[in-house]
Chain A
Amino acid sequence: MSENKLKVESLSAWFYEKQVLNQVSLDFPDKKVIAIIGPSGCGKTTFIRCLNRMHELTPGAKVKGRVVLDGKDIYTEMDAMEVRRKIGMVFQKPNPFPNMSIYDNVVAGLKLMGIRDKNLLDKVVESKLREVGLWDEVSDDLKRSGAQLSGGQQQRLCIARALATDPEVLLMDEPTSSLDPSSTAKIESLVRVLKNHATVIIITHNVQQAARVSDYTAFLYLGDLIEFGETKKVFESPKNPLTEKYVTGRFG
């Protein structure tokens, strides 16, 4: 087993008085794909938002516990901007910047880092749009607003935007929920390629997808981590009866 990229130690999270994560501890191995599964409202989104300090932007949000990236506590030893540059995120709902062109959406993160080299930016735009399978659809007019694309295209644009800065960890919140089967397949194979240079943490409602793309799977239920382990084991011989119920679709 490769070393751990991201270590989570008894992480709890609140919205005002309401606790939505209870002392979750788990280690994310480097350069693997980890799926987070669990029923709606169990805290998956909140959990990954704690991993790149997005949770604290929500009014009433509170976090306790430790999240350690390469040996450094992201809450006490790094500032939020640095954390978010290293840990990219794709949101549950596509959120391209409507005032920016497709091109500028993709390079938004690079521009924040002060990169202005036109040749480099051009290259990144083409390669990232190709990776997400959007290049052929938009290459004729990269000046169009990102908001003019269809929902699925917008989501792929947002994935390209998150990839452009080559984050070490990529958090993806149900990235394929608005995509058709062929784009979904493209994103899934992209995820498999991405783990050559990044750790990918992907939330999915689709247990088959988790089985297809991930090396490890975490099952969350009502804010508790019920089970975490190699995907194969979690699916074939789950330790907890709840996990078994969930992965076999007999939940509720």
Chain B
Amino acid sequence: MNYKSNSFFEKLFKSTLKIAALIVIGIFILLFYSLVERSIPSLSQNGLEILLGTSWDPNFEIFGGAPAILGTLFSSAIALVFALPISLCIAIFYTEYGPVRLRPFISGVMDLLAAIPSVIYGIWGLWTLSPILKINFQEPIIASIGFIPLFSGPAYGLSIFLASLILTIMITPIISSISIDIFSKTPMPLREGMFALGATKWEVIKNVVFPFAKRGVFAATILGLGRALGETMAVTMVIGNSYIWPFKSISLFSSASTITSKIASEFPESVVNIIHNSSLISLALVLLLISISINFVAEIISKKSAGRLNV
């Protein structure tokens, strides 16, 4: 009798899970379908211009998405390049070198940074960080190595550089707190096995902690990347929303656009022009496809490494 009631609840539980999974898949398909449907006017009129075109002028119905797409990919990539090493340093310091007394403080700060709404980061970047960076960082750099196109002037305070920096600050807490978690789960017997061979602390980190944490840190990085790609509010406020980068000016200090900033800043006005509106939706579709393919590739890579390591 006990067995019977057990299996009843188990069945109920299983079918609830199934229904929940179906609902999620259904919502996703619906969402994907409506994006595609509403992209069609733009795609049928302008074709692949949304991917390849380099200028954007609603008055002449020119809708080239390349600068925004590149802006999204570039600012997120730069944010990762900064955030990953910083996060690893934080995690190593936290779990391996830093005094135990400091731990609640570090994790408190990380949780706090992760909890700040992105509009706050946007305001802070716009009013505080932007002028400081402009005067103390961008201008001196332009003055000294401005002949390199990547660092050429003029110094727009609001720039792809500032957007990347804000994104770095936003995703570092995510990647570092997951990394801290994984680092501190490294089994003590493995650490001790390495220590017993005469390893230094750093050799233990390199030979035991890193290999153990590799897959988890990779997953955390993908999570951070997803956050950076999709971040809208803060980026829209600090990137300057111009369309000169990277085709008219390759400089890091030039203002630019991302997919999300383009959509956020033009969507309200676009409702009067169906092609304009549809072009913005096509950009959204591109962003969705980028996110999906990154997750897909990440899944494959992590499966492969799992197969090789057998852990």
Q: Is the CB of A112 within 8 A of B192?
A: no
Task: Give chain A nearest CB distance to B202 CB in angstroms.
Answer: 11
State A82–B207 Cα separation when bound (angstroms): 18
CB–CB B197/A109 < 8 A: yes
Bound Cα distance A165, B200 (Å): 16
A161: interface (CB < 8 Å): yes
- Do A81 and B199 touch across chains, with their CB atoms under 8 A apart? yes
A95 pairs with B189, CB closer than 8 A: yes
With contacts A85-B198, A112-B198, A112-B199 taken as known, whether A97 is within 8 angstroms of B193 at the C-beta atoms is yes
Instruction: Give B191-232 interface residues, CB cut-off 8 Å to A.
Output: 191-200, 203, 207-208, 211-212
Output the nearest chain A residue to B308 by Cβ-Cβ distance.
A145
- On whether A145 and B309 interact (CB within 8 A), knowing A98-B190, A99-B212, the answer reads yes
Give CA–CA (A97, B186) in the complex, Å.
Answer: 11
Q: How far is the CB of B295 from chain A (nearest CB, A)?
A: 25
B310 at the binding interface (Cβ < 8 Å): yes
Contacts of A88 in B (CB 8 A): 196-197
A91 to B193, CA, bound (A): 8
Which residue of the partner chain B has the closest CB to A85? B198
Task: Given the known inter-chain contacts A97-B208, A98-B190, A99-B211, please indicate yes or no for A161 contacting B310, CB distance below 8 A.
Answer: no
Asked if A109 and B309 make an inter-chain contact with CB atoms under 8 angstroms apart, the answer reads: no
Shortest distance in angstroms between B191's beta carbon and chain A's nearest beta carbon? 8
- CB of B193 within 8 A of CB of A158, answer yes
Given A91-B189, A97-B208, are A165 and B197 neighbors across the interface (CB < 8 Å)?
yes
Residues of A within 8 A of B200 (CB): 81
B208 touches A145 (CB 8 A): no
Q: How far in angstroms is the closest Cβ of chain A from B300?
A: 20
Bitwise interface map of A from 81 to 106 toward B, beta carbon under 8 Å scored 1, else 0: 11011001101010111111000000
Bits for A158-196, please: 1 = Cβ < 8 Å to B, else 0: 100110010000000000000000000000000000000
| A99–B309 alpha-carbon span in the complex (Å) | 6
List the A side residues contacting B309 at CB < 8 Å. 98-99, 145
| A127 at interface, CB cutoff 8 A | no
Whether B115 is near chain A, meaning CB under 8 Å from some CB there, is: no
- Which residues of B have CB within 8 Å of A93? 189
Report how far A98 CA is from B305 CA in the complex, Å. 13
**In the docked arrangement, what's the CA distance between A112 and B193, Å?**
13
Nearest chain-B residue to A52 (Cβ)?
A: B196
Instruction: Check: B116 CB closer than 8 A to any chain A CB.
Output: no
Cβ-based interface call for A147 (8 A)? yes
In the complex, A93 Cα to B188 Cα: how many Å?
12
Q: Once the chains bind, are B310 and A95 in contact (CB under 8 Å)? A: no
On chain B, the residues within 8 Å of A96 by CB distance are: 193
* B189 neighbours in A (Cβ, 8 Å): 91, 93, 95
Residue B272 at the chain A interface, CB threshold 8 Å? no
Residues of B within 8 A of A82 (CB): 198
- Number of interchain pairs (Cβ within 8 Å): 70
Alpha-carbon distance between A57 and B201 when the two chains are bound, in angstroms: 11
| Contact between A97 and B196, CB atoms less than 8 A apart | no
B197 touches A54 (CB 8 A): no
A148 to B311, CA, bound (A): 9
Contacts of A112 in B (CB 8 A): 197-199, 203
Whether B193 contacts A95 by the Cβ 8 Å rule is: yes
A222 interface hit (Cβ, 8 Å): no
A108 sits at the interface (CB 8 A): yes
Residue pair A147, B196 in contact (C-beta under 8 Å): no
Q: Are B193 and A145 in contact (CB under 8 A)?
A: no
Rounded to whole angstroms, the CA-CA distance of A145 and B307 in the bound complex is 11
Bound: A95/B186 CA distance, A? 12
A165–B187 alpha-carbon span in the complex (Å): 24
Determine the residue in chain B with the shortest Cβ distance to A94: B189
Q: Which residues on B sit within 8 Å (CB–CB) of A54?
A: 192, 195-196
A100 to B211, CA, bound (A): 9
Contact A84 B212 (CB under 8 A): no
State in angstroms the CA–CA spacing of A118 and B153 once bound together.
54
Cα distance, A82 to B212, chains bound together (Å): 26
Residues in A whose Cβ lies below 8 Å from that of B203? 112
Alpha-carbon separation in the docked complex, A108 to B191 (Å): 13
Q: Is A84 in contact with B190, judged by CB distance below 8 angstroms?
A: no
Contacts of A97 in B (CB 8 A): 190, 193-194, 207-208, 211
Shortest beta-carbon distance, B214 to chain A, in Å? 8
* B198 proximity list for chain A (CB < 8 A): 81-82, 84-85, 109, 112-113, 165
Which residues in chain B, 148-199, are within 8 Å of chain A measured between CB atoms?
A: 187, 189-199
Kindly provide the distance from the CB of B267 to the nearest chain A CB, expressed in whole angstroms: 48
Distance of A50 Cα from B297 Cα, bound (Å): 48
Contacts of B211 in A (CB 8 A): 97, 99-100
Alpha-carbon distance between A231 and B311 when the two chains are bound, in angstroms: 43
Can you list 25 contacts pairing A with B, beta carbon distance less than 8 Å?
A52-B196, A57-B195, A81-B198, A81-B199, A81-B200, A84-B195, A85-B198, A89-B196, A91-B189, A91-B192, A93-B189, A95-B187, A95-B190, A95-B192, A96-B193, A97-B208, A97-B211, A98-B190, A98-B309, A99-B211, A99-B212, A108-B194, A112-B198, A161-B193, A162-B197
